Amino acid sequence: MALTTTSYAILSLLAVRPWTTYELKQQMDRSLRALWPRAGSVLYDEPKKLVAHGLAVSRVEYTGRRKSTVYEITDAGRQALRDWLDVPGAGPVLEFEGLLKVSFADHGDLDQLRANIARIKAEAEYRMDAVDERMAEYAETGGPYPERLPVIALGARFLREQNELLLRWAEWAEQETGHWTGTTLATGARVPPDAFTDPE
C-alpha cells in the first residue's frame, strides 16, 4: 500500500506525540480538517499502513476493560517525514459545491441563487467564528501544544484570511444580486461593474 498525503498527515501528528486512532480522529478534526478533510474511516486504516511500512509501531493499552491501540512514530518514520517535507507540496484545489451552484444559477431562478449565496455567507460567518474562537484560545493559553505555536500561527493566519475572503465575497454577491430581477441578462441580471477588474 503506497503512502499518500493522508499517510503523511497522520505521520505528522504522530511526530507530535503517540495517539490512539480515536484521538487521531479528534486531532484531525481540530487541527487539519480545514486543510485536509478526510473521512474518519480512512483515518482508522492509515496508522496500520504506517506500521506496515515500519514508520510507526503500535501497542495495546487498557483503560479498565476498554482496549485501545496506541500508535507511535519510529525513527524511520521521523526520517520519512523529513524526506516528505523536502518535496514541494501540491497547490490548493478548490471543491466548493455552493459556488458551483452559483456558477450555474442561470439555469434556475433568482430565489435559488440568493438562497445559495445566503448559505455560503452563513457558512463563512460560522467559519469566521470558529477560527476567531480558536485564535483566542491560542492567544490566551497557547493551545495544547504551545511549543508548536510558530508553525500553527502560519496556517491559522491563512485560514483566517481565507474565511474573511469568503465572507467578503458572499456579502458582495448578496449586494450585487439584490438588484437583480432574474438570473440572466434577459430576465434582469447584470454584470457587476467591478467583476472582471482589480477591486483595488
Q: With contact defined as beta carbons under 8 Å apart, do 190 and 180 qualify? A: yes
Taken in order 184, 185, 186, 189, the sign of the CA dihedral is: positive
Task: Give domain status of residue 189, yes or no.
Answer: no
Please tell me whether residues 122 and 171 are part of one structural domain.
Answer: yes
Please tell me whether residues 116 and 159 are part of one structural domain.
Answer: yes
CATH of the domain at 58: 1.10.10.10
Task: Give domain status of residue 121, yes or no.
Answer: yes
Q: How many CB atoms lie within 10 A of CB 151?
A: 10
- pLDDT of the residue at 39: 67
Residue with cell 485564535: 135
Please tell me whether residues 67 and 115 are part of one structural domain.
Answer: no
Cell for 92?
490548493
Q: With contact defined as beta carbons under 8 Å apart, do 134 and 126 qualify? A: no
- Of 58, 82, 106, the last residue of a domain is 82
- pLDDT of the residue at 59: 95
**What's the average pLDDT block by block, 10 residues per block, for the chain (200 residues)?**
90 95 88 79 86 97 91 98 95 91 96 98 94 92 92 92 95 96 96 81
- pLDDT of the residue at 93: 85
- pLDDT of the residue at 115: 98
Please tell me whether residues 14 and 68 are part of one structural domain.
Answer: yes
Number of compact structural domains in the chain: 2
Using only C-alpha atoms, the chain has a radius of gyration, in whole angstroms, of 22
What pTM was estimated for this model as a whole?
A: 0.81
Task: Give domain status of residue 193, yes or no.
Answer: no
Domain enclosing residue 151, as ranges: 97-177
Please tell me whether residues 171 and 105 are part of one structural domain.
Answer: yes
Closest CA to 117 of 132, 131, 92, 96: 96
Residue 60 Ramachandran class (φ > 0 left, ψ -120 to 50 alpha, else beta): beta
Please tell me whether residues 126 and 151 are part of one structural domain.
Answer: yes
Strands ordered across the beta sheet of 56-63: 19-20, 66-73, 56-63
Task: Give domain status of residue 198, yes or no.
Answer: no
Largest CA-CA distance found in the chain, in angstroms, rounded: 70
